[in-house]
A = this chain, B = another copy of it.
Amino acid sequence: MIKIMLYEDNPQLREGLTMLIDGSEGFQVLASFKNCSNVVQEVEAFKPDVILMDIDMPVVNGIEGLKLIRQHNHDVKVLMLTVFDDNKNVFEALKNGANGYVLKKTPPAKLLEYITEAASGGAPMTSSIATQVLKMFSEVQAPPGEDYNLSDREKEVLQHLVNGYSYKMIASEMFIAIDTVRSHIKKIYEKLHVNSKSEAVAKAFKDKIV
């Protein structure tokens, strides 16, 4: 028996889902709510296996609700429900530990299947959502980035700059004269096309040189 809680602001849909799920063998709706105002206490009280969470709700929306839940409970499975597969929400939800993400228009039989899958540790996703998730991955792909051709010693100096060291500290750290440090740094600035320490540091972070 999979125990379920439901957060959905639309009364019709809330009723409909409750009837569908509760009327199916092996599923039980413990409670349903129209928003996440007291989500922490409610989840604590009912101890469900799976939570169906609408993304778009008044007062406290689904993403916030998810965050609140995850602050106290990392075991309960949270299945996000949404009308649109809009990019930002998908990313936010997954980032915050949602266990699945399905469209509301999912047919009833499929929805029950998704709930079962979530309960058993799977990650059910509507096909269009899964496609988006994959797209996000390929977009995350690191920019090949220019090479800048920093020498080993220059990289070393840049690393020290990033760590907030002064020229004097770098000199003593690397056992070289401060003028040598200057000389390296000048070369680094030329190669990175910058002209100050903080610009070099920023560029080092942006282009993942460090």
By a beta-carbon cutoff of 8 Å, the part of chain A in contact with chain B is: 91, 94-100, 117, 121-125, 127-128, 130-131, 133-134, 137-138, 140-141, 161-164, 166, 194, 196-202, 205-206
Q: How far is the CA of A41 from the CA of B205 in the complex (A)?
A: 36
Chain B's nearest CB lies how many Å from the CB of A115? 13
Q: How far is the CA of A90 from the CA of B141 in the complex (A)?
A: 14
Asked whether, in the complex, the Cβ of B138 is within 8 Å of the Cβ of A131, the reply is no
Q: Contacts A131-B122, A131-B123, A202-B164 given: A138-B97 contact, CB under 8 Å?
A: yes
Asked whether, in the complex, the Cβ of B164 is within 8 Å of the Cβ of A94, the reply is no
Chain B's nearest CB lies how many Å from the CB of A161? 6
Q: How would you classify the secondary structure of chain A's contact residues: helix, strand, loop or mixed?
A: helix
Asked whether, in the complex, the Cβ of B134 is within 8 Å of the Cβ of A127, the reply is no
Asked whether, in the complex, the Cβ of A96 is within 8 Å of the Cβ of B127, the reply is no
Residues from chain B with a CB closer than 8 A to the CB of A164 are: 194, 196, 198-199, 202
Asked whether, in the complex, the Cβ of B138 is within 8 Å of the Cβ of A95, the reply is yes
Residues from chain B with a CB closer than 8 A to the CB of A100 are: 134
Q: How far is the CA of A68 from the CA of B47 in the complex (A)?
A: 49
Most chain B beta carbons < 10 A, residue from A99, A134, A197: A134
Closest to A166 in B: B196
